[in-house]
Amino acid sequence: MTRSASLRRSLRYLGRNKMLVIGCVMLVVPVVCALAAQWLAPNDPGAQTLIMRLKPPAWLGGDPRFLLGTDGLGRDILSRLIYGARVSLIVGLTVVAIGGTFGTLIGLVSGYVGGLFDAIVMRVVDVFLAFPFLVLALVVMALTGPGLGNVILVLGFTSWVPYARVARAKVLGLKEREFVEASQALAAGAWRVMLRHVLPNIFSSIIVIASSRVATAIVSEATLSFLGLGVGATTPSWGASLSDGRTYLLIAWWPATLPGLAIMVTVLAINLIGDGLRDRLDPRLKS
Amino acid sequence: MLTYALRRIGLAVPTLFGVLVTVFLLLRMLGDPAVMLIPPDTTITPEQLRDIRRSIGIDEPLPVQLWLFLTNAVRGDFGVSYYGGQDAMQSVVSRLGPTLELSLIALAFAVAVGVPLGIAAALRRNSLVDIGISAVSLLGMSMPNFWLGLMLILVFGVQLKWLPISGRGELQNLILPAFTLGASMVAIVQRLIRTDVLETLTQDFVRTARAKGAAPRAVVWHHTLKNALIPTVTVLGLQFGALLGGSVVVETVFAWPGVGRLMIQSISNRDYPVVQAAVVLFAVFFVAINLVVDIVYGFLDPRIRYD
């Protein structure tokens, strides 16, 4: 098939897969915000204007300089939401990159090598599954202290389990297949067989998990920041903004409501993409 | 059956052992407990530090410490709270009631709403009903629970003044937190049931029942649902762990006096014995639930006899 024909086919497919399209369109807003935050944000997200505290959104009688109003410290909510997209998407993508790479490799080796290594890995997986994951993340964050890097590391290294389980299960099915045996017969090394022949065949399952885990990571970061154990007070994270807004819930609805809407729209977009990709790449689950 | 149950219990033992070792290493790796014992803004001489280390047993080599920790843990001894000197595990256990109350009501709500919605969506696949239910589910799954909680407080507590927004006691106090905790699980249960029912409907035995002229209603209730519900039971067990994790957040939002809130308070007070006891209790609970679920699963589906 020529490249243009395959492109046309993909586009036609995209037209049929409405969830994927709607998700991608919705995701454009946070992605653009994240990439162009310094040009889009009308104000400095950290600048406090104390005489402008808790101004309502502009159309409700607030100040036209602060389109979505200000928070309890007089900071511009719109600018904080725009910069917050950057935090959320960085966390979502890096956490999935760490957890996905780490988990897939472990699952791949565990399934392919088998034996004692596999048995040990499976017991470790059981232990990880035994911790409510948020509780584990909370404790580690409490001990390491807040910070974007810490959040990414903690969420990354607690999220490898689903990839490892799926990769292992798929490898167990694949390793008896002829093309794997053929390459082994041609004296290909274990790594070569795993990376060149097995990995490409499990990649679509990994992508399906990864897409939905981006959403999980974003919500987890927001939750940790909401509980005061996330990226730290100076970073304009949606979860942290929501936590600030909670203090003023009884007198002002906007500082707590708007960051939550931002999280919801972004996560919904990613979930739609995840569902769309699953229908496309893992048709067994297609209904 | 008995062998299967015993085997499953046998598998849970190394898991619990692993949990304890992980908690131990995690807390040792990330800081010196003796330093953590010193109140902030106090200076201390090296001799005093050595005394503290000896008094809590961390002057011993690491394997000895691990042994001490494990033997104490088996007896339920996780040390005493730095604040008030109460037994750490006891103060956690005393908060277990409210957490279980909240989690079980949320679970019941999720099953009571999620299962019928899942069945309805599957039986009317690709209809407006299905699309509507699926869209609401997806929305529910995408909403962070702490935000949903705050919005419910805003609407039903602050604006309408219908329901109390914090604390525990009256039945009305339970409504908002239980709804908040259960909402995302309704979505998960609904999606799961829908997939399972759709998958079961394609099975040969359902086709056979149809071919033999069984009434459509009987095919759905007798042949399909019973079989479709089995996989859901296992996932519910796993979801209960997520529910316990979620209760940490929901209890914080609604000032619900459970284990989760105690844990957050202990984390901000740096009261590590209590944090440690809470983490271990959560994990033990979770392992126990999944053990029970697996054994029940073995009863429901006699074909299951893996390793």
* pLDDT (tens digit per residue) in B82-141: 777 788 888 899 999 899 999 999 999 998 999 889 988 888 888 888 888 988 998 988
Is the pLDDT assigned to residue B307 strictly greater than 60?
no
Q: Side-chain half-sphere of B109: how many Cα atoms within 13 Å?
A: 21
Q: How much is the pLDDT for A98?
A: 95
Q: Which residues of B touch A143 (CB under 8 A)?
A: 26-27, 30-31
From A131, A133, A222, residue closest to B19, measured CB to CB: A131
Inter-chain CB proximity B267 and A139 less than 8 Å: yes
From A138, A256, A271, residue closest to B150, measured CB to CB: A256
Mean pLDDT of chain B: 81
Find, among B85, B58, B64, B88, the residue nearest to B76 by Cα: B88
Q: Which region among A159-163, A196-200, A241-245 has the lowest average model confidence (pLDDT)?
A: A196-200
Q: How much is the pLDDT for A146?
A: 86
DSSP, residue by residue, B86-98: -BHHHHHHTTHHH
Å from A42 to nearest chain B CA? 26
| B147 inside 8 A of chain A by CB | yes
| Percentage of the residues of chain A whose pLDDT score is greater than 70 | 94
Question: pLDDT category, A285, cuts 50, 70, 90?
Answer: very low
Q: Which residues of A touch B14 (CB under 8 A)?
A: 123, 126
Torsional sign, CA A268, A269, A270, A273? positive
Q: Which chain B residue lies closest to A285 (C-alpha atoms)?
A: B195
Q: Which helix (H) or strand (E) holds B85?
A: none
Indicate if ipTM > 0.90: no
Mean pLDDT of B136-147: 90
Q: Which residues of A touch B287 (CB under 8 A)?
A: 130
Helix B128-142 / helix B96-123 crossing angle, nearest 10 deg: 150
Question: pLDDT category, B58, cuts 50, 70, 90?
Answer: low
Mean pLDDT of chain A: 85
Q: How much is the pLDDT for B82?
A: 75
Inter-chain CB proximity A126 and B151 less than 8 Å: no
- Between the alpha carbon of residue A216 and those of residues A219, A221, A265, A276, the distances in Å are 5, 9, 14, 17
**Rounded Cα gap, residues A148 and A221, in angstroms:** 9
Is the pLDDT assigned to residue A92 strictly greater than 90?
yes
Q: Which residues of A touch B238 (CB under 8 A)?
A: 129
Residue A62, C-beta contacts closer than 8 angstroms, at least 6 positions apart: A55, A56, A69, A70
Q: Side-chain half-sphere of A259: how many Cα atoms within 13 Å?
A: 34
- Between the alpha carbon of residue B119 and those of residues A245, B124, B214, B217, the distances in Å are 39, 9, 19, 13
Q: How many CB pairs under 8 A join A and B?
A: 133
Collapsing DSSP to helix, strand or coil, A82 comes out as helix
More confident residue, A238 or B237: A238
Å from A145 to nearest chain B CA? 10
More confident residue, B234 or B37: B234
From B138, B143, B153, residue closest to A272, measured CB to CB: B138
| Percentage of the residues of chain B whose pLDDT score is greater than 70 | 91
DSSP for residue B60: S
Mean pLDDT of A146-154: 90
| Percentage of the residues of chain A whose pLDDT score is greater than 90 | 29
Q: How much is the pLDDT for B244?
A: 80
Question: pLDDT category, A29, cuts 50, 70, 90?
Answer: very high
From B22, B248, B249, residue closest to A127, measured CB to CB: B22
Inter-chain CB proximity A132 and B27 less than 8 Å: no
Is the pLDDT assigned to residue B161 strictly greater than 50?
yes
Residue A36, C-beta contacts closer than 8 angstroms, at least 6 positions apart: none
From B31, B125, B244, residue closest to A132, measured CB to CB: B244
Q: Which chain B residue lies closest to A270 (C-alpha atoms)?
A: B142
DSSP, residue by residue, A204-227: HHHHHHHHHHHHHHHHHHHHHHHT
Å from B238 to nearest chain A CA? 8
Å from B97 to nearest chain A CA? 18
Q: Which residues of B touch A147 (CB under 8 A)?
A: none
| B289 inside 8 A of chain A by CB | no
CB within 8 Å of chain A, chain B residues 152-211: 153-154, 158, 194-195, 198
Q: Are B153 and A250 in contact (CB under 8 A)?
A: no
CB within 8 Å of chain A, chain B residues 4-33: 11, 14-16, 18-19, 22, 26-27, 30-31
**Rounded Cα gap, residues A33 and A50, in angstroms:** 26
How many angstroms from the chain centroid is the CA of residue A126? 23
Determine phi and psi for A53, rounding to 5 degrees.
-70, 140
Q: How much is the pLDDT for A286?
A: 41
Q: Which region among A10-14, A125-129, A134-138, B60-64 has the lowest average model confidence (pLDDT)?
A: A10-14
DSSP, residue by residue, A18-61: HHHHHHHHHHHHHHHHHHTHHHH-SS-TT---GGGTTPPPGGGT
Interface test mutation site (partner A, options B142, B190, B287, max chain A beta carbons within 10 A): B142
Is the pLDDT assigned to residue A1 strictly greater than 70?
no
Q: How much is the pLDDT for B37?
A: 65
Tens of pLDDT, residue by residue over A37-85, are 889 888 888 888 788 787 888 788 777 888 888 887 878 888 899 999 9
Q: What is the 3-state secondary structure (H, E, C) of A57-70?
A: CHHHCCCCCCCCCE
Q: How much is the pLDDT for A265?
A: 94
Beta bridge partners of A76: A70
Q: Which helix (H) or strand (E) holds A249?
A: none
Cα distance between the two ends of chain B: 13
Q: How much is the pLDDT for A268?
A: 94
Is the pLDDT assigned to residue A169 strictly greater than 50?
yes
**Rounded Cα gap, residues B296 and B102, in angstroms:** 23
Inter-chain CB proximity A123 and B15 less than 8 Å: yes
**Rounded Cα gap, residues B261 and B168, in angstroms:** 13
Tens of pLDDT, residue by residue over A173-231, are 887 787 877 887 787 777 887 888 888 888 888 888 898 899 999 999 999 999 888 88
Tens of pLDDT, residue by residue over B183-231, are 988 998 898 888 888 887 777 777 787 788 777 777 777 777 777 777 7
From B18, B242, B248, residue closest to A127, measured CB to CB: B18
Å from A250 to nearest chain B CA? 7
Q: Which region among A200-204, A242-246, B169-173, B221-225 has the lowest average model confidence (pLDDT)?
A: B221-225
Is the pLDDT assigned to residue A34 strictly greater than 60?
yes
Q: Locate tokens 């089995």: which residue?
A: B230
Q: Which residues of B touch A142 (CB under 8 A)?
A: 267, 270, 275
| B288 inside 8 A of chain A by CB | no
Torsional sign, CA B125, A14, B186, B227? positive
**Rounded Cα gap, residues A83 and A77, in angstroms:** 10
Interface test mutation site (partner B, options A127, A246, A253, A272, max chain B beta carbons within 10 A): A127
Interface test mutation site (partner B, options A19, A88, A134, max chain B beta carbons within 10 A): A134
Is the pLDDT assigned to residue A105 strictly greater than 90?
yes
